[in-house]
Amino acid sequence: MPRKVICLITFDYELSLGRNFLPPEMVLFEPTRQVLDLCAKLFCPTTFFPDVCSVWAHRKYGLNEYADSFESQMKDTLLAGHDVQLHLHPHWLASKFENKEWLISTNKMYLHELPFDNNPYSAGALVRRGISYLDELLRPVKADYSCFAFRAAGSALQPHENEIIRMLLESGIKMDVSVTKFLTLKLDTVKIDYTSVPARSIWRMSPESGTKSEAAEGLLEVPIATFQSGLGARTGFLWRRAISIKQMRGTTISRAKHQNRFANIRTLIMQNLRYVTGNPWYILSCDTKGFNSKMLMDGFRQYIDRHEGEETVYVTMMNHPKLMFDYQMKMLEDFIVQTRQEYDITFATCADVYKAQSQPSL
């Protein structure tokens, strides 16, 4: 067993990316308030990754109520002792709001679909705009705030990972929390393959190393934790997942022009097929429908055991307020309480981890 565990509980702060069945207050802002209240009760700091592209898109169409509430909640989040870092869903910038409905543009959904040159619409320009936006928004709230960490849309640093890592470093990003250990996805929206990544729970990446090997210096990577489960646990997971199908505030995004309950059915089927075939890798998360506290804790212990040779194991959990209902809130509470009972664990923010790992090599 390692001497110490550092756990980053993270939240991608965003609306449903396809269609939202409810107003933003019910999809995002109220669930986030509940998360913040729970974390305050448990004295547990977290990191939020706001999708800033959604703010810019809403401002463009005069939808200022959403943008104002978004910015106000991120300020409150920082004041409450949490961290706020950069998350981008580029499709918002080309999407249109017509007849009280978002028409989603699906040809530029991820960083690799943007140019890597010096034009104003390049991936680098978008990241730099996001950094400047968060710095300007949050430094009046906390003078020493700095935007330095990043999570990619869909956790997709691929394809073109070498160009993406170079762009992030050149844009001022120093830490990434996107790599999802051993996960592969082949959807109509995105394809990633993290089967060959470093064995450790924290490392550095350079444009030359990509995601597949460690570098002496470069981008600090604290990957999203994953685990596998036996056949019995997978069967129970699939049953619980099936009966929770109505627990939705919106749809995931697809390549369809009009996003609705059925437009992304192929994407939804492909997302779930990976849980049926083979021995899938599950993301450590409280918001995955089908998980329960036992499955989550078993997965956490497995991840720790896989890194037992490290004196300190770093564990990143990925969640989304839009997917958190009462059951998921209780699971998060149980997770925090139980891990504190079993391990010498510290719940940390990205800022905490980067400060502790500020040397050029680990």
Per-residue pLDDT tens for 156-184?
A: 999 999 999 999 999 999 999 999 999 99
Provide φ and ψ at 346, rounded to 5°.
-120, 125
Average pLDDT, the chain: 91
**Band of pLDDT at residue 44, cut at 50, 70 and 90:** very high
Per-residue pLDDT tens for 184-198?
A: 987 766 789 999 999
- CB-based contact 246:12 (threshold 8 Å): no
* CA–CA dist 191, 156 (Å, integer): 8
Mean pLDDT of 43-62: 98
- CB-based contact 123:167 (threshold 8 Å): yes
pLDDT for the residue 254: 60
* CA–CA dist 301, 284 (Å, integer): 11
pLDDT for the residue 185: 84
Residue 213's nearest CA partner among 226, 228, 194 is 194
* CA–CA dist 212, 71 (Å, integer): 36
pLDDT for the residue 263: 45
**Band of pLDDT at residue 268, cut at 50, 70 and 90:** low
Assess whether pLDDT exceeds 70 at residue 258: no
pLDDT for the residue 284: 98
* CA–CA dist 284, 295 (Å, integer): 10
Assess whether pLDDT exceeds 90 at residue 237: no
In whole angstroms, how far apart are CA 304 and each of 113, 146, 237, 258, 313? 35, 30, 21, 42, 7
Q: Per the structure block, which two tokens stand in for 129?
A: 């705009």
Assess whether pLDDT exceeds 80 at residue 271: no
- CB-based contact 4:344 (threshold 8 Å): yes
Mean pLDDT of 264-283: 65
What is the maximum span of the chain, computed from C-alpha positions, in angstroms? 57
Provide φ and ψ at 46, rounded to 5°.
-135, 175
- CB-based contact 88:110 (threshold 8 Å): no
* CA–CA dist 325, 255 (Å, integer): 27
* CA–CA dist 60, 56 (Å, integer): 6
Assess whether pLDDT exceeds 90 at residue 67: yes
* CA–CA dist 335, 347 (Å, integer): 12
Q: Per the structure block, which two tokens stand in for 36?
A: 């913040």
Assess whether pLDDT exceeds 50 at residue 285: yes
Q: Is the peptide bond before 24 cis (omega within 30 degrees of 0)?
A: no
pLDDT for the residue 230: 82
Q: How crowded is residue 79: how many other Cβ atoms within 10 Å of its Cβ?
A: 11
Q: Per the structure block, which two tokens stand in for 194?
A: 């993290």
What is the CATH number assigned to the segment(s) 4-356? 3.20.20.370
* CA–CA dist 91, 104 (Å, integer): 7
